[in-house]
Chain A
């Protein structure tokens, strides 16, 4: 059956195949960029970058951020934004590390962290979906509330030691693979399944692409939004857990670099801030690009004071390249400058 349909339209299908290959390359363009960047990093650092110990360190640093960025991707796909990931991250880590430090078993720490993420996500989702408060304002508010609770809980002092079992969560190896990287891989596979094989995934794309049409089509818009914010909360909490286990401390203060890296990773990965378009896995590539740049700055001895400025420039540049190099946008621009068609 497939054979006959192929032979019927052989010339057309050949160009269709090429077009599909080109479009796949366009969709996943972040990965060749990452490879080029890594090659440049290897050259610029005189090979230091490619040392196994450095690559492993990059993975350990990138994994928690990428986990949080995956949740952020779901929210941005719905045309929302979650600024509160940075607070959920911090609150989950101080509560989990605090419990662990006071002798609670690891399972209690993990469950408490995920509980924080679940509660924060449901709160955001409820405010956005049911009360229709704009996502930016909602998560700006919960960012402050979450950080405040973390400071009250810790008395504004960092938790500086955690038991070995907790530490292992962020620094153990599974064979040659760091455990956080394995957890990241699991989350990626799970989300790819959710986004492309389950109804909720298609609903997220639909709600972000055109909320009015989604509502008229009878899709559960509120439920979809609540799902996205809850997933973001849970994954931010998991990220906080992994990172605090890796660095073996938990600080009650929101780290702006974390917020920049999670949102920046999604944007660099090409997910549209207007919602409805983007790929889950590309956000991992986006985070890796940001972490590689940070790693290079470290190796080359660039002042850490510049860190957030560099991240800001990367975000702007990424948005510019993603929007500016979108064929549809270029087509519209060409029509405009050539004076053909409507403005």
Chain B
């Protein structure tokens, strides 16, 4: 947020001023409540086991939320991340089954994700239509590709594969997937702050017309944003495949919703130009904590889905209340 571009025109959202101020702090209040209440009431929540399990369960969402943020920054949205993750998972497992070395299979998976993202970005540019409908279509295409490659079934990893270690192992108690997510966070944040293209992403999202007039290439920023989203979805698919020890063509499930919710809770604006990867990670952790608490109390998983929807609605509402309105819905 510190690196965000000032937009000049500020129009307040609806509602009284105190509502905006409160909503601005809502995510901190929510995090405090989500940690404090269960920690006080439930000894199991405080246990090391739960912490360890929690850390091993959040890598996928952390990485997806960061990828989604690149697209949100340019005021787009990527509805295909869940399907790209499922496709990547199938590609990785299928290649490993065919006897590819781990490094080669991972490289091919990353290329698949990057390629899909770049294709989405190119379609947005070529068709000049909202990114949601393009990524909606690519969701169907990637999903079908995963189903066709796998024949609709899960693909197990070959016995003795080193991949599951990525999900279960760690250094000094810190899971590998958290180290991976942390490295991506640092690299991505440095890129957004110090590379020209990073600053261009903020500029295009903040005010596309001003960005264009100052000579920023809309094509390049769009391709980079969607390419990164696809690449991060593919990285997440590697962690996901390691965790479930198989390639799952229908694994994307609710991850679109969750990645958007996490990024928006973390302060990445739905209207573009505002937000940080750190914020997106924060949102992913908060989202996962809420899920963790619901699980601890054995809440029906179907109710968890309702809660996920309510969280998206609340995150959107908070965004609108705190955000200066720059784009018409």
Residues in chain A within 8 A of chain B (CB atoms): 79-81, 127-128, 130-138, 140-149, 151-152, 156, 211-212, 256, 260, 263, 267, 273-274, 303, 305-313, 315-316, 319-320, 323-324
Contact = CB atoms under 8 A, between A and B. Distances in A.
A144 B306 contact: yes
Contacts of B13: 132
Nearest to A80: B329
B140 A308 contact: yes
- Where chain A touches its partner, the secondary structure class is helix
B133 interface: yes
B141 A312 contact: yes
B77 interface: yes
A156 B301 CA distance: 10
Contact of A143 (B138, B141, B309): B309
B151 A316 contact: no
Contacts of B132: 81, 136
B137 A315 contact: yes
Interface in B276-329: 300, 302-313, 315-317, 320, 325, 328-329
Given A144-B305, A145-B309, A308-B144, 12 more contacts: A79-B328, A127-B313, A127-B316, A127-B317, A132-B13, A141-B309, A143-B257, A212-B328, A312-B136, A312-B144, A323-B129, A324-B127
B254 interface: yes
Given A142-B313, A148-B303, A273-B129, A137 B308 contact: no
A311 B136 CA distance: 10
Contacts of B257: 140-141, 143-144
Contacts of A131: 14, 317, 320
Contacts of B151: 305
A61 B305 CA distance: 29
Contacts of A319: 127, 129, 133-134
A128 B329 contact: yes
Interface string B140-177: 11011101100110000000000000000000000000
Q: Most B CB atoms within 10 A — which of A131, A135, A156, A260?
A: A131
A333 B310 CA distance: 43
Nearest to A211: B328
A266 to B, nearest CB: 10
A151 B307 CA distance: 13
Contact of B134 (A138, A148, A149, A316): A316
B94 to A, nearest CB: 14
Contacts of B316: 127, 133-134, 137-138, 141
B260 interface: yes
B130 interface: yes
Nearest to B271: A134
